Structure 1
Amino acid sequence: MKSKPVLLNDGFNNSHFRSKSKRSDVARGFGDYAFLTLSKHPRIVMAKLKGGFPHVAINVPVGAFNGHAFDLCRYNVAMARRTPSSPTGGFLESETNGRYYEDKSLPIAREDADKSALLKRHYPLGTMIEVLVVDELQLPEQTTVSCYSEDDFKIVKNILEKLNVLWSIRLVSPPGEYNRKLKYVNEIQLFIEKAIDDPIWRGNGLEYDKV
């Protein structure tokens, strides 16, 4: 997992980032993070599956974060309407909401005590908590990939074998409707094949918000 600055340094350009959120991430002070979530079934993933665009879930073990800097945010960084500059003002700081750091427009939990308080309060409620990883995170062999169809399972298996990656794969029921569309599948497979065959290729702007 890599943040925007790391990807840019690796030669990717802005077309590689999600168009609907990349500007707000940076404007709100979160541009240096790679984003993960504790939610098993984020609403945006459910919406994209319903629309027919294939997705998988990459499940990262907790041990991958040992010794690595990360913050937690209980708000949707890209979509939250309240910030300190909005008419209603920003969200209040607290041990369960997090606190404002640097140029952040939303409170985050950085200290262990605040992380524990935020998780204890919001995780049981099903709040979508974002895990904000500084710079990049190496995904270990214990990583697993959850696939929502047998055909997706076969594609992922082929990718991991070609890359000699030892992650586990599992077939699970989709979290709602999955209207898998062949048009999108073909576009994704062409993208993947090109990326594997040409390691210095930096993408063609394929993005699920534009299809």
Structure 2
Amino acid sequence: MRLTIAEDSVLLREGLVGIFTRFGFEVVAAVGSADELLHAVARDVPDVVVVDVRMPPNFRDEGLRAAIRLRADHPRLGLLVLSQVVEETAAGELLEAGTRGVGYLLKDRIGAIIPFVEAVRTVAGGGTVIDPDVVRQLLVHRRAHDPLDALSPREREVLALVAEGRSNSAIAQRLYVSEAAVAKHVTSVYTKLDLGQDADDHRRVLAALTFLRSR
């Protein structure tokens, strides 16, 4: 099994190389930055990548952003992300792209070498390994940032029908209300979802997409 490692700490990186070599992996590259990771995979695509979230130059979420890009370029590549904390936004983006062959583990909760190695094998084989704390925090983040929370029950009902592609007239017939009432609800939805003052057709599509993403 061919593996690429991306970790900025030299000691940890070399330690990972030693561990995986011992367990029969072929380490094709071991790099210290997100840019180096992207170049290494472009040169020689492995079976699986183990990547730290926070990497040079800014030590924010460069490694995770690189993983998202690799997932887009190489959908069958296994990706195991290691982190001290959960980066909710970028982690959500990675998992929304599909959970096949994806892992996200918190470094502090990796208690033994063999389960960690098995997690890498699972991801390389197309499985999913997500730390329970990561799942919990992502769910909390999603609930805390759900834009639909601002809508009334009737506005949610109207938006659901908008997302089905129905016109104001069709929505009015479905809900047994006037078209003017539907138009008022739709305008309120635009305002609460902060969709600006673009053409109504454009805002209608954006509102529908917001509804579908929140389901």
TM over 0.5: no
Compute the TM-score of the two structures, normalised by the length of structure 2. Answer: 0.24
Compute the TM-score of the two structures, normalised by the length of structure 1. Answer: 0.24
Structure with the larger helix share = 2
